[in-house]
Amino acid sequence: MSYSIESITESIGARRVGNAPATIDWLLTDSRSLNFPEETLFFALTTKRNDGARYIADLYTRGVRNFVVGEEGFEYIKKEQPADANFLVVSNPLKALQRLVELHRTRFQIPVVGITGSNGKTIVKEWLHQLLSPERAIVRSPRSYNSQIGVPLSVWQMNEQSELAIFEAGISEPGEMRTLQNIIKPTIGILTNIGGAHQENFFSLQEKCMEKLLLFKNCDVVIYNGDDEFISNCVAKSMLSAREIAWSRKDMERPLYINKVEKQENCTVISYRYLEMDNSFTLPFIDDAAIENSLNCLAACLYLMLPAELITERMAKLEPVAMRLEVKEGKNNCLLINDSYNSDLGSLDIALDFLYRRSLSKGLKRTLILSDILETGQNTSTLYRQVAQLVGSRGIERIIGVGSEISSCATRFNIEKVFYPDTATLMSVIAQGELPLENEIILIKGARKFGFDALTEMLEKKVHETILEVNLGAMIANLNYYRSKLKPETKMVCMVKASAYGAGSYEIAKTLQEHRVDYLAVAVADEGSELRKAGITANIIIMNPEMTAFKTMFDHKLEPEVYSFHLLDALIKEAEKEGITNFPVHIKLDTGMHRLGFAPSDIPRLVERLKGQDAVIARSVFSHLVGSDSPQFDAFTRRQIETFESASACLQEAFPHKILRHICNSAGIERFSGAQFDMVRLGIGLYGISPIDNSILNNVSTLKTTILQIRDVPEEDTVGYSRKGRLARPSRIAAIPIGYADGLNRHLGNGNAYCLVNGKRAVYVGNICMDVCMIDVTDIDCKEGDSVEIFGDHLPITALSDVLDTIPYEVLTSVSTRVKRVYYQD
């Protein structure tokens, strides 16, 4: 839906500077997601960490002409304000965004489902979409856009065709729900459940629950679990005027009574009574969360009068909601992005955006494999015109279409293209080598019916069955956790040395760069130049610069740490030889670690040496804490900080330019917030391990493998080399393809540690071999091909590091490079 710039100016009460004519279709808050510049209105939001006004110049060069800015942001661009752009100046751009969408929402009289709760919001939303979309045009939040920014962007998608809307609302602080209620104005409210997630800013669980219920202020109906006494009490207290569908498995008087929940091997049969009618359905899941989610969906479908037969039919076909885009290495130097989320325009756009960002630095051709997009309710030619437009605007160079509908619209695509009637045909063409896929970044996106999983598997590079799964979303959550402990102006170095603590440096660096960390740090020059060659442009510090690698550093702008006169002299000499001036270096001081660094007493001579040349310039000065994780060393830590404070001040005083000062590592950030100086260096915490007690923040890395073979071994036999694996009973033994050459330490063998098979502990039997080891699965229901977790989401890495009498750092960085890293993002 389009709005004139005049009507938007009026709606948000802005002062308009510029008078270029414009119509707006798209709202943008993240400059990286730009799609249709001419019709886009960019909101320059200021957050604690970032100022959207910084992106205006870039967006302007990319064709955007309409901007909403705060007074300060406007000051910043006023000098060079282009004549053909409109600036809508407001006191608060976020409030303006919310206000605009509030007014947009008032134009629609359709049912709107608002979902809140601690868990399950996205699944309930996606399942409702699966259950209700065949006969209705539905708009819904993309992925989990449920925040103060995500909600307005979601609601903005409502248009003349929409017949039903489904939006999620998530809050992390008191006071936020009122704003979201105003924007969503739900008529149907669903409260999924209440738990401890996002609890940190709430006084009590009750406060949080009451806040969530504000979403339902003007709802016609509210749906929740009537058996949950806590929720029922909160609902009673909040005195909603809405009708209630509190479903219950215990109380027959409730409007929706669930009289039976019968779990079978891989499905659950659920019988219910609603308005005196008895019915049942089969859910293709057995976990409790899925059952609860399905009951919330059931209540909403009944309220929306979806006939019971259709509910039964569609519940049986519910598909799991995959919440992630998986990046995998493919054959022939391809990179695969597997999006099994679902296929519709909104999710296609998000996935294309993801592909585009990944492709920028890699020099890979951008290819899309796309199936027919099913059940959108749109007519085929309009739909594929839009698809073609999206594909064009995201710079896709080649499309491989699968299905009769997309094939019939082939002429819409003005890029390299080829179409096939079905997945089997495409796969056989690839298998016969008639459709080479090489040096491409490939987004594979298909409706479930097309079975693209098999296609992905075929294109995937398979070297070894053992993988390290890296959750980039969790890493960002950790980054934000540590950022929240900093003053807004404090800068951050993220340590990506040792292949990002084993997680793999490129993808990690790329993600951190996107989140605008100030510096990355690696150990040696080669690690840095690899990152540069892969396209990382962020500032990079080299912690252990080799004398032989200065040239590499100059060529790639890799900023060395300097810890001795010997190193400094050699560096200056080499830089002078190359005619380089003002090359940034980072001065390390030794304040107690006694590893590397200048002594505080070296400072006068250091100042003199630096002043007598212009080849290098001190960009920062830092030191390293030896025991910031442990209260027993607090007095020593404070002494280190004092020593650093005065020594670094001496250095700074000698120079007119600003020299950044930093001393805190992860533990320092948590425990010595007064020692932030200008910058901090985040390491282990970023990778999800608390530096203080080794507890897991958000787990980032999971090491996984699969069972190759299972056999029964009689009690008197032994397992493995040197007959070490003695058995106490007749046993079932599984062999898994991971050994000490993958980084699985030999000391974990012989019953010293365990891994997880289908959630149960399986002890290592006998010696761990080079590439394989054996585990005891006697008491575990499992089969060949089942997945095995060595450490990660369900088995904390400390279960291994404790046995090995070492620290998690060592276990993480020991996972060898032959183990494939697989990245995903929530």
Ligand X SMILES: *Cc1c(COP(=O)(O)O)cnc(C)c1O
Query: Which is nearer to ligand X, 291 or 596 (by Cβ)?
Result: 596
Taking residues 717 to 746 in sequence order and writing x for each that binds ligand X by CB under 6 A, - otherwise, the string is ------------------------------
Q: Which of residues 141-160 bind ligand X (CB under 6 A)?
A: none
Contact in structure between 258 and 272 (CB atoms under 8 Å): yes
Contact in structure between 299 and 223 (CB atoms under 8 Å): yes
- Asked if 620 is part of the footprint of ligand X (rule: CB under 6 A), the reply reads no
3-state SS, residue 484: coil
Q: Which stretch binds ligand X (CB under 6 A): 271-279, 369-377, 646-654, 677-685?
A: 677-685
Q: How far is the CB of 628 from ligand X (least distance, A)?
A: 8
Strand order in the sheet with 26-28: 15-17, 86-90, 66-70, 40-43, 26-28
Q: Which stretch binds ligand X (CB under 6 A): 272-280, 366-374, 439-447, 676-684?
A: 676-684
Distance separating alpha carbons of residues 543 and 661, to the nearest angstrom: 16
Query: Which is nearer to ligand X, 159 or 694 (by Cβ)?
Result: 694
Q: How far is the CB of 228 from ligand X (least distance, A)?
A: 41
Distance separating alpha carbons of residues 520 and 517, to the nearest angstrom: 7
**Residue 638, φ and ψ in degrees, nearest 5:** -65, -35
Contact in structure between 575 and 615 (CB atoms under 8 Å): yes
Other CB atoms closer than 10 Å to residue 85's CB: what's the count? Answer: 18
Q: Which stretch binds ligand X (CB under 6 A): 30-38, 284-292, 346-354, 675-683?
A: 675-683
- Asked if 666 is part of the footprint of ligand X (rule: CB under 6 A), the reply reads yes
The amino acid at residue 533 is: K
Q: Is 475 annotated as a binding residue?
A: no
Query: Which is nearer to ligand X, 440 or 629 (by Cβ)?
Result: 629
Query: Which is nearer to ligand X, 245 or 812 (by Cβ)?
Result: 812
> Please, which residues have CB within 8 angstroms of residue 566's CB and are 6 or more apart in sequence?
none
Q: How far is the CB of 50 from ligand X (least distance, A)?
A: 23
**Residue 40, φ and ψ in degrees, nearest 5:** -100, 140
Which of the 8 DSSP states describes residue 320? Answer: -
Q: Site size for ligand X, by CB under 6 A?
A: 11
Query: Which is nearer to ligand X, 170 or 597 (by Cβ)?
Result: 597
The amino acid at residue 711 is: R
Q: Which of residues 679-718 bind ligand X (CB under 6 A)?
A: 681-685, 691
> Please, which residues have CB within 8 angstroms of residue 167's CB and are 6 or more apart in sequence?
112, 113, 114, 115, 125, 140, 141, 146, 151, 154, 155, 184, 186
Q: Which stretch binds ligand X (CB under 6 A): 121-129, 459-467, 562-570, 678-686?
A: 678-686
The amino acid at residue 610 is: L
Q: What's the angle, vertex CA 673, arms to CA 670 and CA 676, rounded to 5?
A: 110
- One residue of 665, 705, 731, 767 binding ligand X per CB under 6 A: 665
- Asked if 560 is part of the footprint of ligand X (rule: CB under 6 A), the reply reads no
Q: How far is the CB of 511 from ligand X (least distance, A)?
A: 18
Contact in structure between 494 and 522 (CB atoms under 8 Å): no
Residues 198, 203, 206, 209, CA torsion sign: negative
Contact in structure between 760 and 731 (CB atoms under 8 Å): no
- Which residues are part of the catalytic machinery? 497, 721
How is 527-588 classified by DSSP, letter by letter?
HHHHHHHTT--SEEEESS--GGGHHHHHHHTEEEEE-SHHHHHHHHHHHHHTT--SEEEEEE
Contact in structure between 592 and 643 (CB atoms under 8 Å): yes
- Asked if 586 is part of the footprint of ligand X (rule: CB under 6 A), the reply reads no
* Partners of 42 in beta bridges: 28, 67
- One residue of 213, 495, 756, 757 binding ligand X per CB under 6 A: 495
Q: How far is the CB of 588 from ligand X (least distance, A)?
A: 8
Q: How far is the CB of 519 from ligand X (least distance, A)?
A: 11
Q: How far is the CB of 530 from ligand X (least distance, A)?
A: 18
3-state helix, strand, coil in the chain (%, to 5): 35, 25, 40
Taking residues 97 to 116 in sequence order and writing x for each that binds ligand X by CB under 6 A, - otherwise, the string is --------------------
- Asked if 466 is part of the footprint of ligand X (rule: CB under 6 A), the reply reads no
- Asked if 624 is part of the footprint of ligand X (rule: CB under 6 A), the reply reads yes
Q: Is 324 annotated as a binding residue?
A: no
Contact in structure between 241 and 219 (CB atoms under 8 Å): no
Query: Which is nearer to ligand X, 667 or 734 (by Cβ)?
Result: 667
Q: How far is the CB of 700 from ligand X (least distance, A)?
A: 13
Counting every residue written for the chain, the total comes to 826
Distance separating alpha carbons of residues 380 and 533, to the nearest angstrom: 43
Query: Which is nearer to ligand X, 688 or 691 (by Cβ)?
Result: 691
Q: What tokens were used for 595?
A: 């590893």
Q: Which among 479, 514, 476 has a CA at the least distance from the CA of 493? A: 479
- Asked if 543 is part of the footprint of ligand X (rule: CB under 6 A), the reply reads yes
Query: Which is nearer to ligand X, 344 or 629 (by Cβ)?
Result: 629
The residue nearest ligand X at its CB is 683
- Which residues here bind ligand X, judged by CB under 6 A? 495, 543, 624, 665-666, 681-685, 691
Q: Which residues are annotated as a binding site?
A: 595, 770
Q: Which residues are annotated as a binding site for substrate?
A: 595, 770
